[in-house]
Structure formats: C-alpha cells, structure tokens
C-alpha cells in the first residue's frame, strides 16, 4: 500500500494534520466497516468483496462523510471513485427529485465508468437514479431523465454547459460537487467551462477536487471555489520491476476464461498466482480451472488461518500449481516457485499492481506478469504504465497452431522420456506380433496408438473460439501498439471536439440536424460495404439483422460502437449499415465465434436488445430468407394485353388521382 499523508495548506483544516508514517499505519488498520458508511452502501461494498480501503479511500471517506471540502492529489487507479462515491451516497436522500450530487469528468468514457460505479454502490438504495450526460449522445433521452428526476449527474463539461443553458439541469439543491481528474480537463481546454459550472452551484455545497498534478490554473480554481479544504496527498513511491516481463492482453470480459485457457496451454509455467477483485471470483475461477484439469485453489479472506497455511503449503510443495487470490489474501505471500502472475481482473489501485507482480521474479529469478485489460479499461492500463515507468508489451491470444505445437512437443517429450526410462522389450514384441498377424505397418500401429493416447487432450484441437477475430482477420482485434496509440489519441481528440462543439451549439440554441441513413444504390454498387471495396477486398462479409432501429433513437454510430466494444471488431471491418424504423442490418466479417454471437444477442443499444441474427451473405444473397421465399414464388405468366392466362377479367389499372386526394 502506498504511503499517504494529509497536509493542510494555509486555508486547510488543522484538525486533519497527520504524518505520512502514522497515516500509513492508520490505513493498515482501517476497514470499510469502521468508516461509518450507511448500511445499504456497506452491504454493497461487502457483496463486491472489497476487503480493505486504499490509502486515498481511508483518508477521504471520513472527510467527505462530514461537511468539509477536499483537495485530493492522487494518480489514476488509486481508487478515487469509491473515495468520493461511498461517503456521498451514504448521506444521500433519494426522496428528492432534483440532482444532489454533480460529478465533472473529462471524457465520456470516464463519465460512464463513474456513473456505473455509483449505480453499483447504490444497488441497495431504493429509488436511486444516476444519469451520465456527455456529448455525442442524443440529448432528448437526457432531457427526459432529468425531467423524471435523478439523484446523481455525472457529465462532461461541454454537455453540462448545454443543459445549464437550456435550463434543463437545476443545480439549486446540490449537496456536493466533485471534479474528477481536474488536470486532464485543464489539458483538454475545459477550465473556463469548469469555472462557469462551479459558479452556478450553491455556495454551501460540499466540494471535492481530485487531480494527479496541481498546475497553477487548477490551484486557482481550487482557491476560488473550493476554499477551506483538507488536502490529501497520496505519494507515489513505486519503482520499476526490472526483472519481470510485463505483458497485457486486450480481451472482452466474456472471452477472459477462453483466453486464459489458451495462455495456460502455451506458457511454460511452474507456479501461478491469479489475482481477481472479489472473494467470490476466487472460488468461481478456481472451480472453472479445476474443471479444465488444472490443480487450482482459491485463496481469500474467508479462509481461516489453518486453511490458508495449508493452501500455501500445497503450492510450495507442487501439489497445487495455481492460486486464485485477492490482494489482501495474498499479502505477505512469498513462494519461490511462482513463475507467473496473471491479473485476471485489472487492479483499481496502481500500487496493488506493483505489489501483485512482485510475487514473481524473486531471488534473482526472472518472472512474467500478464494483465487482462477490457477495452474500456485502457485508461487504467496507461496509468499503470505511468506508475511503473515502463510500457507493457502487447500480446495476442495464442492461436490454434501455437496450442497444437505445444501439445505435440509435450507428447513427444513424454515418448522420449519413456524410451529412456522404461523397459519396452515386451511391448516391441507385442507390436511385432500385431503387425505380422494383421499385415500392418508398424508406423500405422504407432499412429493408431498416438491417436488413442491423445483423445482427452487432442494434439490438433479444433478451437474456433477466436479463430475469426484473431487469426482469420488479423488486425481486427485492438491489441496492437499502433491501434492502442491511435485509439488513445482519437478518444481524447473526439471527446474534446465533441464537447466544444456542443458549447458552440448551445450558445446559438440551434437544434442539431441528424444525418439521414445512407440509401443503397439501385444499381447495386452502393450496397457493398465501403471497407470491403476500398480496404480489405479479400474479407468475406455476411449480413446480420439487429432489432434496433430509428424508432429506438439509435444511430449507425451506436451500432458501430457496440460492435467495436462488445465484439472486438475494428471499424474498418464493419460494412454497410441500413437503418430501418424497427430494425437494422449490418455487414460483418464471416466466421463470427459462437460465444461472441450469443453475447451480442444480449447487448443493448439505446436500452434495446440487439437480438442479432444472420440473414445471409452479400450480393444476391443479401436479402433475408423470408424475402427470398416471397420473391421466389412462382409468378403467373401474363400475356401482352396484361391478362393472366386463364383470367377472365382484365388486370386492374391504377386509379387517376383526384383533387380531393391532396386536400
């Protein structure tokens, strides 16, 4: 755990003065139960498996449970969200209709993340509502939610200014205002917007500002609007772990277990510690690994000391190869045979990451650390790289060929070991007799025995879980350094441009025009996806139908975002999107894995389940089966006079329109 100290400035409350050493000792003794959180919030925290507050949480929660203001200096990934969300929720009264808590965030991704955290911590608070507001999203839904009433608003400065100008956001009853990552908002040019928003908040509202650094403009805002505040500084004393090979893998949450299984197949490991966030996750993951044939066991705070020591002893003796643990349970764990540390869940605290990977690479040995990162957790990855002062190397999910190669090598080593240590003379005689009696070649008999021996663990596995995204269309998954950098830059530029654009549009009070969906070219060329025509003509696309359309408030951008974030498909591989009122169609690469397909069925766009279904391939097959069935019906032949053969009545001519038809 990092050292932390509380050092009040000239305007700070002297009652909060403490040395860094005593602060650290105090943090070690603090538990969430001792912080006087409300019963519903504490129940949610316990259910999440949080065992001990981080340094900033232990210092900030007691301050914010009171009426004082807070000025916090801490890096991203130190647990700041819980540091302000838990105490503010503990004081919240859900009976009111107007917002009581306002959180300012620099990007829409962070705004969504903070809003989700509030919702998670308030799961046992009846009538609680939180609303994320950010640019690039249809404002009508936000307006409806604000009219219904929300307790917490989390938003980017640009969209918040938009709502303030529209008078749709009433800040008169705010009890608390939080500025999260203030230095990042300064870098993106939001300092004027921040001051404008703060000037509209009540003077008696509690205020908290969190920033990794404290540049002069941020300090000026703090002096003007924060005033009498206690200062909490979390010192960053971590250093680079040089002998540990650190790698990361971008993987969606529903793909983690399959990715882990593949990694365990190809990695040459001795002992492994896997870290997860919660106690329940340790048991769940350990059981799944046991079902896959691995000697794994859980290690969490619910184990008594005797069972904990027994588990560690088994790991040291080689009876167990894998321990699935939480941060607190693994504290003080020192086992020399640990060759790998796998962060199955990315830690919320950068200090925890350093302590986790420090479990390997001991006694001068080299170790390996692998970090699983969900697409929306890239910010935490960048923060970890900044803390460790070295970049993590990107890795890809092992391919089927790599897994097959490793299994063949192990199979070969087993045979060679048997040839060296076993007396095989009687078996040679047996094979010779089988060969003679059945007129078979010895090589054919050996092949049959090899096939029989590998049935439980096939040497040539048919593993298609990631075949399409990782092998067939390399580059689609966003786990290369180039894609990482471009995604990072585009996210920042897009967020700043989007929010600034809303600032301008709000001042002119002009409604934004929605782009009409692109219509297919009657000749057929326009119906082909642009990506297939221009970039990847060798990629075969198929058409899918999703039950999300214009009437649900969805846009093509919403669908593209869902495919990128939930299926891991690069935007360049997403073809033509045809928006209809109640549904849409989208062209995607052929070979979508089954688990991703099933996952997309449950994904919601604009609160509407996608219920994705493949309708057909492209070209003449681009229509649904129902449409093909209708158009392939045998049509009656018509003669030159327009009559169906066998009909007595002539075909009906269209009625001439009358003037009253247009009245």
The per-residue DSSP string of 585-650 comes to EEEEES---HHHHHHHHH-EETTEE---EEEEESGGG-S-HHHHHHHTSPPPPB-TTSPBTT-SSP
CB atoms within 10 A of CB 624: 16
C-alpha 581/C-alpha 264 separation (Å) is: 47
Indicate the pLDDT class of residue 247, thresholds 50, 70 and 90: very high
C-alpha 568/C-alpha 524 separation (Å) is: 29
3-state secondary structure of 353: helix
Residue 165 has pLDDT above 80, yes or no: yes
Choosing among 3.20.10.10, 3.90.25.10, 3.30.200.20, 3.40.50.300, the CATH entry for 244-399 is 3.40.50.300
Domain 4-234 identical in fold to domain 244-399:
yes
The encoded tokens of residue 534 equal 């221009």
CB 573 within 8 A of CB 539: yes
C-alpha 60/C-alpha 463 separation (Å) is: 48
Region 195-224: mean pLDDT is 87
The encoded tokens of residue 605 equal 């766009």
Region 436-450: mean pLDDT is 88
For the chain, the helix, strand and coil percentages under 3-state DSSP, each to the nearest 5: 45, 15, 40
Residue 623 has pLDDT above 80, yes or no: no
Residue 628 has pLDDT above 60, yes or no: no
C-alpha 193/C-alpha 211 separation (Å) is: 17
- Residues in the chain, overall count: 663
What pLDDT is attached to residue 538?
60
| Cα 148-153-159 angle, rounded to 5 deg | 100
Helix (H) or strand (E) holding 128: none
C-alpha 293/C-alpha 276 separation (Å) is: 20
- Give the strand pairing for 130-133 and 244-250: unpaired
Q: Strand locations in 134-258, DSSP E?
A: 152-155, 176-179, 206-211, 229-234, 244-250
- Give the strand pairing for 296-299 and 322-325: parallel
* Sequence-distant (≥ 6) Cβ neighbours of residue 197 within 8 angstroms: 102, 104, 157, 160, 161, 164
What pLDDT is attached to residue 631?
43
Compare 555 and 517 and report the one with higher pLDDT.
555
CB atoms within 10 A of CB 650: 10
The encoded tokens of residue 607 equal 């609160």
- pLDDT (tens digit per residue) in 303-324: 876 788 788 889 988 899 999 9
Compare 206 and 566 and report the one with higher pLDDT.
206
Enumerate the domain spans of the chain: 4-234, 244-399, 401-453, 514-631
Token match 């989208």: residue?
Answer: 586
C-alpha 86/C-alpha 325 separation (Å) is: 25
C-alpha 614/C-alpha 542 separation (Å) is: 7
C-alpha 515/C-alpha 538 separation (Å) is: 30
Which value, in Å, is the radius of gyration of the alpha carbons in the chain? 31
Choosing among 3.30.70.330, 3.60.10.10, 3.30.750.24, 3.90.1150.10, the CATH entry for 514-631 is 3.30.70.330
What distances in angstroms separate CA 373 from CA 108, 255, 380, 480, 484, one per listed residue? Answer: 19, 11, 9, 13, 12
What pLDDT is attached to residue 332?
58
- pLDDT (tens digit per residue) in 432-441: 999 888 888 8
For the chain, the average pLDDT equals: 76
C-alpha 426/C-alpha 303 separation (Å) is: 51
What distances in angstroms separate CA 649 from CA 152, 634, 640, 641, 654, one per listed residue? Answer: 70, 21, 14, 11, 15
Residue 278 has pLDDT above 90, yes or no: no
Beta bridge partners of 244: 367
3-state secondary structure of 517: coil
What pLDDT is attached to residue 571?
72
C-alpha 329/C-alpha 339 separation (Å) is: 19
C-alpha 282/C-alpha 298 separation (Å) is: 5
| Backbone angle region of 469, left / alpha / beta, with phi > 0 → left and psi within -120 to 50 → alpha | alpha
The encoded tokens of residue 508 equal 């002119």
CB 372 within 8 A of CB 346: yes
- pLDDT (tens digit per residue) in 381-390: 988 888 888 8
Compare 537 and 268 and report the one with higher pLDDT.
268
Residue whose C-alpha is closest to residue 48's, from 359, 356, 348: 348
CB 459 within 8 A of CB 408: yes
C-alpha 184/C-alpha 396 separation (Å) is: 30
- pLDDT (tens digit per residue) in 101-156: 999 998 887 888 899 999 999 999 999 999 999 887 888 889 999 999 999 999 99
What pLDDT is attached to residue 498?
44
What distances in angstroms separate CA 500 from CA 106, 167, 190, 312, one per listed residue? Answer: 12, 19, 9, 55
- Domain 4-234, architecture per CATH: 3-Layer(aba) Sandwich (3.40)
Helix (H) or strand (E) holding 104: strand 101-104
Instruction: Out of 191-200, 560-569, 623-632, give the one with best mean pLDDT.
Output: 191-200
Compare 656 and 586 and report the one with higher pLDDT.
586
The encoded tokens of residue 393 equal 């190397």
CB 108 within 8 A of CB 157: no
What pLDDT is attached to residue 331?
63
What pLDDT is attached to residue 101?
95
C-alpha 4/C-alpha 24 separation (Å) is: 6
Share of the chain above pLDDT 90, in %: 23
């Amino acid at each position: 755990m990092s050292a932390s100290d509380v050092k009040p400035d000239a305007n700070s409350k002297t009652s909060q003065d403490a040395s860094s050493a005593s602060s650290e000792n105090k943090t070690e003794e603090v538990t969430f139960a001792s912080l006087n959180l409300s019963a519903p919030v504490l129940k949610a925290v316990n259910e999440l498996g949080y065992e001990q507050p981080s340094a900033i949480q232990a210092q900030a929660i007691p301050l914010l449970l009171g009426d004082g203001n807070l000025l916090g200096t801490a890096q991203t990934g130190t647990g700041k969200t819980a540091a302000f969300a838990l105490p503010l929720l503990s004081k919240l009264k859900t009976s009111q209709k107007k917002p009581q808590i306002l959180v300012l965030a620099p990007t829409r991704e962070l705004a969504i993340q903070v809003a989700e955290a509030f919702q998670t911590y308030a799961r046992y608070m009846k009538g609680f509502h939180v609303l994320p507001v950010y640019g690039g999203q249809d404002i009508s839904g936000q307006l409806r939610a604000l009219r219904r009433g929300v307790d917490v608003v989390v938003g980017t400065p640009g969209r918040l200014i938009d709502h303030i100008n529209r008078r749709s956001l009433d800040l008169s009853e705010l009890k608390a205002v939080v500025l999260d990552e203030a230095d990042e908002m300064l870098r993106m040019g939001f300092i004027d917007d921040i001051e404008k928003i703060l000037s509209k908040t009540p003077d008696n509202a509690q205020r908290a500002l969190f920033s990794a650094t404290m540049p002069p403009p941020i300090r000026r805002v703090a002096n003007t609007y924060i005033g009498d505040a206690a200062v909490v500084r979390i010192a960053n004393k971590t250093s680079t772990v040089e002998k540990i090979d650190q790698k990361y893998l971008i993987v969606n949450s529903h793909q983690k277990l399959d990715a882990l299984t593949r990694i365990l197949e190809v990695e040459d490991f001795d002992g492994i510690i896997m870290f997860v966030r919660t106690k329940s996750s340790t048991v769940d993951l350990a059981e799944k690994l046991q079902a896959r044939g691995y000697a794994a066991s859980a290690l969490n705070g619910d184990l008594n000391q005797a069972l904990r020591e027994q588990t560690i002893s088994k790991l040291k003796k080689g009876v167990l190869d894998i321990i699935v643990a939480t941060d607190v349970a693994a504290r003080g764990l020192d086992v020399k045979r640990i060759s790998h540390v796998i962060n199955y869940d990315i830690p919320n605290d950068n200090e925890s990451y350093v302590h986790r990977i420090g479990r390997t690479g001991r006694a001068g040995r080299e170790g390996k650390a692998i970090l699983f990162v969900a697409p929306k957790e890239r910010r935490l990855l960048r923060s970890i790289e900044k803390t460790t002062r070295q970049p993590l190397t990107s890795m890809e999910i092992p391919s089927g060929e790599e897994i097959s190669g490793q299994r063949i090598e192990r199979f070969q080593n087993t045979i060679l070991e048997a040839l060296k240590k076993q007396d095989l003379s009687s078996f040679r005689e047996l094979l010779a007799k089988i060969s003679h009696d059945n007129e078979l070649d010895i090589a054919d008999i050996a092949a049959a025995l090899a096939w029989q021996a590998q049935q439980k663990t096939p040497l040539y596995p048919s593993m298609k879980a990631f075949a399409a995204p990782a092998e067939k269309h390399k580059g689609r998954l966003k786990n290369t350094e180039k894609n990482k950098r471009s995604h990072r830059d585009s996210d920042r530029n897009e967020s700043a441009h989007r929010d600034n654009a809303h600032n301008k549009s709000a001042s002119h009070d002009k409604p934004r025009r929605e782009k009409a969906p692109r219509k297919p070219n009657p000749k057929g060329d326009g119906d082909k996806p642009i990506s297939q025509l221009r970039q990847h003509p060798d990629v075969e696309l198929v058409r899918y139908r999703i039950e999300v359309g214009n009437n649900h408030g969805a846009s093509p951008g919403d669908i593209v975002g869902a495919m990128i974030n939930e299926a891991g498909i690069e935007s360049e591989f997403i073809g033509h999107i045809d928006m209809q009122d109640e549904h849409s169609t989208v062209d995607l690469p052929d070979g979508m894995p089954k688990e991703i397909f099933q996952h997309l069925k449950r994904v919601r766009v604009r609160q509407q389940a996608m219920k994705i279904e493949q309708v057909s391939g492209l070209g003449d097959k681009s229509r649904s089966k129902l449409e093909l069935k209708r158009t392939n019906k045998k049509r009656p032949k018509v003669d030159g006079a327009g009559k169906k053969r066998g009909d007595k009545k002539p075909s009906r001519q269209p009625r001439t329109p009358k003037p009253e038809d247009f009245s």
